[in-house]
Every structure is written in C-alpha cells, then in structure tokens.
C-alpha cells in the first residue's frame, strides 16, 4: 500500500482551520483542486457520521467523494475514510488523518496523511490535489482573521 504526508504551516486561527475541514460553508470554498468547484457538501460531523462532497470539473463532469468520520478531536485531529463513488480508481477506500497544531500566534501546523493507495500514480495524484486544495485553504484562512 502507498501513502503520502503533507506537513504545512498556514496563517490563520486554529478554530477556523479546524472548522474549514468540516463546516460546509468553508469546505465549499477550498475542498476541490485546481479549477474544480464544490457543488454540494453533506456532513453528519461526528465519529461514525458520514459525509459526501460533490465536485464539478471544469469540463462539466461531476464527481462525488464519500466517507465516514472515524476520529473527531476538536482542534486536534480528524480521521476519515475516503472513497470516490465513480469506482474509476484501483484504490477503493483510503484513510485520511489530519493533525492540527497551533505553532505561533496566528499560525497552524497541519499534517495531512492519506494512506491505502493501490499504486504510486494514485498516491501522487491525490498528493497534488491536496496541495492544490491547501493553497486555496491558505488564502481563505488569511482572509478570515476574525473567526473565533
């Protein structure tokens, strides 16, 4: 099995960065790579709760991501399963772990690990997509300075 880890520090408050990973109003702003956009977020945010995120690719194809929240520790950790509903990848289900840590006043260290990929190509594609999404999150977090 293949995996990747991204370790990045973002400007923003810890409560906002954490909320951005589960609140539909924030997820819709950043949780789609490149020129893709989020068209729908459904989330039962609790351990054992399920989520579904629909994205629209620039050429009009809609894709859906679904999974279950495994670990929910406010402002510390999220763990969730990850599966594309189209079944076009060899990896049927992967696991995502996100660790949150306030490192300085107004900065948050994020460590994102996704594991369980069937091959290196899928691993690389998802790592690139996460980096693209995290760039959008960085912009959103820098614009949202009054969040508590």
3-state secondary structure of 11: strand
> Burial, 100: exposed, middle or buried (Cβ in 10 Å; 0-12, 13-18, 19+)?
buried
Structure confidence at residue 144 (pLDDT): 78
Q: Per residue in 69-96, pLDDT tens?
A: 999 999 999 999 999 887 665 657 899 9
The reply to whether 122 falls in a domain is yes
pLDDT surpassing 70 at residue 125: yes
The reply to whether 46 falls in a domain is yes
Domain limits for position 114: 2-143
The reply to whether 148 falls in a domain is no
Q: Per residue in 4-27, pLDDT tens?
A: 999 999 999 999 999 999 999 999
* CATH code for the domain of 90: 3.30.530.20
The reply to whether 68 falls in a domain is yes
How many structural domains are present in the chain? 1
Average pLDDT in the 30-45 region? Answer: 95
CA 92 – CA 66 distance, rounded (Å): 11
The reply to whether 137 falls in a domain is yes
pLDDT surpassing 90 at residue 143: no
């Amino acid at each position: 099995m293949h995996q990747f880890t991204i370790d990045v520090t973002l400007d923003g408050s810890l409560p906002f960065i954490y909320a951005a990973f589960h609140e539909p109003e924030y997820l819709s702003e950043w949780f789609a790579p490149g020129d893709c956009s989020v068209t729908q977020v459904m989330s039962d945010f609790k351990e054992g709760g399920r989520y579904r995120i629909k994205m629209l690719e620039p050429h009009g194809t809609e894709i859906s991501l679904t999974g279950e929240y495994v670990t929910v520790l406010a402002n510390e950790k999220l763990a969730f399963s990850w599966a594309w509903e189209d079944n076009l990848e060899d990896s049927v289900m992967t696991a995502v772990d996100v660790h949150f840590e306030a490192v300085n006043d107004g900065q948050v260290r994020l460590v994102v690990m996704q594991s369980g990929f069937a091959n290196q190509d899928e691993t690389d594609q998802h790592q690139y997509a996460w980096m693209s999404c995290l760039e959008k999150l960085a912009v959103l977090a820098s614009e949202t300075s009054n969040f508590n």
